[in-house]
Amino acid sequence: MNKHHYVAIMAGGIGSRFWPMSRAALPKQFLDILGTGQTLIQQTFARYRHLIPQNNIYVVTSEEYVEIVKKQLPDLPAENILAEPSRKNTAPCIAYVAFKLLSKDPKALMIAAPADNLILETDEFVKTAKSALHFVDHINALVTIGIKPTHPNTGYGYIQHETAEAAPGVYKVKTFTEKPNVELAKAFIASGDFLWNAGIFTWKVQNIVAALEKYAPELYDLFAAEKDKFNTPEEKAVVENIYPQCTNISIDFAVMEKADNVYLIPATFGWSDLGTWNSAWENMDKDYFGNAAVGKNIMVVDASNCMVHVPDNKLVMLQGLNDYIIVDTKDVLLICKKNKEQEIKDYVAEVKRNKGDKYL
C-alpha cells in the first residue's frame, strides 16, 4: 500500500428514502439494510482496507454521528473521524478533507466515496480503484467511476464519455445529466456511451484544491484563508466558523460539471447506491415469487415481488400483496407500492408537518 493514498468516506446524510428504518438519529449508512450482519459503513470501511493504509482512512460525518462511527468502526483512529457542524452536501465536505490532507501530505492522492454504496465484487472494485489512482498520479485529472446501466433508472445521474480511450480503460467525460426522465434515460442507454455516475471520485489533492479555486472560488476562499489551522488544535473552531458560510452544493455541480479535465473509468463490480427500498430489493436474495425479506418470522401467502423488512421477534403474515414495500419498526409501519418509492421523501415531509419530528 502507498503511504500517499487516502480515502474520505462521506457519511453525513440522512437517507430519508429508507424511512422508516433510516432516521435522523440513526441514518441508513449505520444500518444493516440488507440483513448481511454488517452496516453499510462497516462494509465500506472493510472494502477500503484492501486498498488504503488504515491510518489513511478518514470518515467525514455530522457531529451527532461521531460516537456512532466510533462504535461501529473501532479500528478507525478517532482523530480520523471529521465532524461537520452542519450538512452542506459533498463540495464543502471534500474541500475540508482536501485542505486537511494538503497540509499534512502535499503528495496525497485521494478517493472520495459515499459510505452507503453497495459493492458486491471487492476484488474488481480494488482493481478499478488502483487504475484510477495510477491515472491521477501521472495526469492532472479528476476521475469518476461509471457503471454500465442495466435499466433506465431515473434516480441516478448519467455521464456521457468520449468513445476513444484517453488511456487504457479511461475516457474523457463529455457531459453530466442529473436524474433524467424515463424517456431520456432510455435514449441514454440506447446510445451506448452513457454510464451511471457512481459518485466515487479520485484525484491528487493539489489538483482538486486547484479545481475548487477555479470553479468554486467562494468555497475555496473560505478554506484557503484558514489553511494553516488544519491539523492543529484550532481546526475544530475553524471548521465551525467556515461551515455556516458554505453554500449547500454537491461536488458534481461545484466542480465536476464545469472542469475540462474530468475522466471516467467504466466499471462492473456489482454496484448500487442503495438509494431506495427498491434498490435494496434488487440486491437481495428472493424467494420463488420474488419476495426479498429481512426478518426471521415472515410467512408469505399469494404475494410476489415484495420488499419486507421487519423485526426478528415479530411474526408477519403477508397475503395478497404484489410489488409492495413493507417496513415495520418499533413505532412506524410503512406499506407502500414499489413504484411510489421515490415519493417516500414526500411522505416523510408530510409526517413532519402533521406529527412533528417524533417519527423522523
Q: Can you give the pTM of this predicted structure?
A: 0.91
User: Is the domain of 157 the same as that of 242?
Assistant: yes
87 in any annotated domain = yes
Query: In this predicted structure, what is the pLDDT of residue 51?
Result: 93
Note whether 59 and 76 are within 8 A (CB). yes
Boundary of a domain, candidates 220, 249, 272: 272
Query: In this predicted structure, what is the pLDDT of residue 54?
Result: 93
241 in any annotated domain = yes
Query: In this predicted structure, what is the pLDDT of residue 148?
Result: 87
Amino acid identity of residue 305, one-letter, is N
CA 194 – CA 153 distance, rounded (Å): 12
User: Is the domain of 262 the same as that of 316?
Assistant: no
Query: Minimal CA–CA distance to 142: which of 257, 6, 268, 3?
Result: 257
10-residue mean pLDDT profile of the chain (360 residues): values are 94 86 91 90 94 96 96 96 94 97 96 92 93 95 91 82 90 86 84 88 97 96 95 95 95 93 92 85 92 92 94 93 95 93 89 92
User: Is the domain of 241 the same as that of 284?
Assistant: no
HEC string of the chain? Answer: CCCCEEEEEECCCCCHHHCCCCECCECHHHCCCCCCCCCHHHHHHHHHCCCCCHHHEEEEEEHHHHHHHHHHCCCCCHHHEEEECCCCCHHHHHHHHHHHHHHHCCCCEEEEEECCCEECCHHHHHHHHHHHHHHHHHCCCEEEEEECCCCCCCCCEEEEEEEEEEECCEEEEEEEEECCCHHHHHHHHHHCCEEEEEEEEEEEHHHHHHHHHHHCHHHHHHHHCCHHHCCCCCHHHHHHHHHHHCCCCCHHHHHHCCCCCEEEEEECCCEECCCCHHHHHHCCCCCCCCCEEECCCEEEECCECCEEECCCCCCEEEECCECEEEEECCCCEEEEEHHHHHHHHHHHHHHHHHHCCCCC
User: Is the domain of 126 the same as that of 16?
Assistant: yes
Amino acid identity of residue 19, one-letter, is W
CA 193 – CA 149 distance, rounded (Å): 10
Cα dist from 312 to 160, 296, 297, 360, whole Å? 44, 5, 6, 22
CA 2 – CA 23 distance, rounded (Å): 37
User: Is the domain of 214 the same as that of 293?
Assistant: no
C-alpha cell at 211: 479545481
Query: In this predicted structure, what is the pLDDT of residue 186?
Result: 86
Query: In this predicted structure, what is the pLDDT of residue 66?
Result: 96
User: Is the domain of 242 the same as that of 303?
Assistant: no
CA 324 – CA 182 distance, rounded (Å): 21
Note down the domain range covering 113. Answer: 5-272
CA 177 – CA 257 distance, rounded (Å): 9
Number of domains the chain contains: 2
59 in any annotated domain = yes
Cα dist from 42 to 25, 39, 45, 49, whole Å? 18, 5, 5, 11
Cis previous bond, 20, omega within 30:
yes
Q: What angle do CA 27, 33, 34 make, to 5 degrees?
A: 165
Boundary of a domain, candidates 272, 291, 306: 272
User: Is the domain of 94 the same as that of 197?
Assistant: yes
User: Is the domain of 259 the same as that of 146?
Assistant: yes
Query: In this predicted structure, what is the pLDDT of residue 153?
Result: 77
User: Is the domain of 254 the same as that of 127?
Assistant: yes
Query: In this predicted structure, what is the pLDDT of residue 139?
Result: 93
User: Is the domain of 75 the same as that of 210?
Assistant: yes
253 in any annotated domain = yes
Query: Minimal CA–CA distance to 189: which of 159, 164, 166, 162?
Result: 159
CA 304 – CA 325 distance, rounded (Å): 11
Boundary of a domain, candidates 243, 272, 301: 272
CATH of the domain at 135: 3.90.550.10
User: Is the domain of 28 the same as that of 103?
Assistant: yes
Query: In this predicted structure, what is the pLDDT of residue 176?
Result: 87
User: Is the domain of 264 the same as that of 292?
Assistant: no
360 in any annotated domain = no
